[in-house]
Structure 1
Amino acid sequence: MDNATNPTIDTLAGATNKRMVVTGASSGIGYAIAKQLLAEGHDVIGLSRSAPDLDHPRFTWRAADLDDTAAIAGLAQQLGTVDGLVHAAGFMTTARLGELDEASGEAMWRLHVAAASALANALVPAMLEGARIVLIGSRVSAGAAGRSQYAAVKAAMVGMARSWAIELAPRGITVNVVSPAATATPMLSDPQRTSSAPVMPPIGRYVSVEEVASMVAYLLGPQAGAITGQQIMICGGSSL
């Protein structure tokens, strides 16, 4: 079916200016995604604890502590109807068996899974046909030594996204997970991951934030309407 006979694609393609929510917009992958979407002409609402260095007429920043999941519903109500949600906020702590920290595991769960769930639960009911949800996962979701708590959280994210995808398919709303390998962000040098150093992908360099942002932008666009419930790896060959 070409675009001329697909009203969903036609509608989305004709309305190039969308309202997108991006969490973790102050740095790293979230910041790169916000910049990419702004460059493509969208309105972006950035949610993060600290204000990003983004001065753009279509960018709005809202201070948000996504660790406080009870406050997310109220925050989401202030945002109004949005066309896309990107959950990029996250952090990783590493530890091997015998040294696992329960509090760290719970904190990662709250930010990566519970916050995404609370945001989607509040925003999705008002979303129109053709809206998009993209969660930032990790190649580690398949498992990695010294990262069991983080892997469990990211694996849960994939299961959650696939469940939402089948629920929302009748409304034309897609849900996908973009899972990069080691990406050139401040997280690579985070002292909390000293027990599990980043692994260089076979391509000989780390994934760039721009590469992740480009994939996310595509999944948010009109041509990705048939892609849903997928975990898309940007791993530089790490998963081979």
Structure 2
Amino acid sequence: MKTPIALVTGGSRGIGRAIVARLIEDGYQVVNFSRGAPEALLPGETFRSVDLGDAAATIAAARELAAERSVLHLVNNAGMIQVANLEDVTQEQMARTLALNLTAPLLLLQALLPGMRAARYGRVVNIGSRAGLGKGGRTVYGASKAGLAGMTRTWALELAGDGITVNTVAPGPVATELFNQSNPPGAPKTVALEASIPAGRVGRPEEVAHAVAMFLDPRAGFTTGQLLYVCGGVSVGLAG
């Protein structure tokens, strides 16, 4: 049996890095499309520097990869967030965020789709966010993640007959490097945030990676078009 190959975007840090590590642990070879390289490559990882906010660069890199290797697993993790209240949102912020958070996943799947259809098999996981349900200061980010969930459902319907599943994993508060910089462990702000989460703590990147790995599994062929929150219960009804 051939070693499965997965393309993971934004795999050099944070949740993306945990996803890369988990997939390698599960026996995948992983291609990491990110602007910046990770501190060290993992065995079985290939890194390619790609500006996924640039449509032409994204298309070129994806087509080149598809011509070289049979990539039947795609994890659209790369994303950006710009916090701004409604009156301060700019058209530039909207354009930049949607280019990376929405357009890049579309272009990547379009490039890999012929190979998936030929194999009659594919697994696509999009990384959304609990902010897609609504959160202050997240007009642009929330719109992009809600849009990604909508695209997931549409793609799932269009591709189910080809043996291709498409699902979304939507994290809540997760202790990545960037999160910890803004929310230092033990700080009053962090303690208050943890108290607002039903699970009583923030999540770990590897917990999100576990959900991704589940959807990528060959045995998950009857699960498609779904949105799974990995949020410690925050999405159940709390607005924090």
> Which TM-score applies when normalising by structure 2?
0.87
Deviation at 1:239, TM superposition (A): 1.3
Alignment of 1:176-187 (within 5 A): 176-187=167-178
Residue identity in the other structure for 2:81:
M
Q: Where in structure 1 are there 5+ consecutive unaligned residues?
A: 1-14, 192-196
Aligned partners of 1:91 and 1:187 also within 8 Å: no
Alignment of 1:79-94 (within 5 A): 79-80=65-66, 81-94=70-83
Q: How many residues align?
A: 221
Q: C-alpha separation between the residues in 2 aligned to 1:159 and 1:32?
A: 25
SS of match in other structure, 1:65: coil
Q: C-alpha separation between the residues in 2 aligned to 1:26 and 1:42?
A: 16
> Which TM-score applies when normalising by structure 1?
0.87
Alignment of 1:1-240 (within 5 A): 15=1, 17-80=3-66, 81-127=70-116, 128-188=119-179, 199-200=193-194, 201-240=197-236
TM superposition outliers: structure 1 runs of 4+ over 6 Å: none
Aligned partners of 1:16 and 1:41 also within 8 Å: no
SS of match in other structure, 2:107: helix
Aligned partners of 1:73 and 1:119 also within 8 Å: yes
Deviation at 1:188, TM superposition (A): 2.0
Which moves more between the two structures, 77-86 or 229-238? 77-86
Aligned partners of 2:34 and 2:49 also within 8 Å: yes
Deviation at 1:93, TM superposition (A): 1.2
Q: Where in structure 2 are there 5+ consecutive unaligned residues?
A: 183-188
Residue identity in the other structure for 1:147:
R
Deviation at 1:90, TM superposition (A): 1.1
Where is the helix percentage greater, Structure 1 or Structure 2?
Answer: 2
Deviation at 1:102, TM superposition (A): 2.4
Deviation at 1:16, TM superposition (A): 6.8
SS of match in other structure, 1:239: helix
Q: CA RMSD of the aligned region, Å?
A: 1.7
Q: C-alpha separation between the residues in 2 aligned to 1:116 and 1:92?
A: 16
Deviation at 1:83, TM superposition (A): 1.4
